[in-house]
Structure 1
């Protein structure tokens, strides 16, 4: 029985890999989408931080999470 189970697992893995290859060849992208930062939001976050607001409050104002605000504040100015 275990030999059949192993055979089925191997076949399942092969079918999955083949399906992913076909999807990738057809232009399907996998994983989390890349998000380009909104430069206006970055500037506004920096401005609000300069006024002494906390990152959580800045996030509420600009409509972003606290983690996003921290990421915006850590970005180098361009």
Structure 2
């Protein structure tokens, strides 16, 4: 008799923009946005956040491809100039 095996299932992983604690309760982001932030200020902050995200992804990709530190230096300095990424 042939033994039939069921395929092993891997757990589904979902990603959330909110960090979670051990018991699974969503936690708010730690970045605070001023209550009176004007439209242009909000647009600039959002653009900087997007640029920071794209730049860090680009640096990660270049590292994976083996690009030298001499080439990565200016990109990393620009990322440092922008400050820490929003949590």
Q: If the length of structure 1 is used for normalisation, what is the TM-score?
A: 0.38
Which structure has the bigger radius of gyration? Answer: 1
Greater RCO, CA 8 A, separation 6+: 2
Q: If the length of structure 2 is used for normalisation, what is the TM-score?
A: 0.34
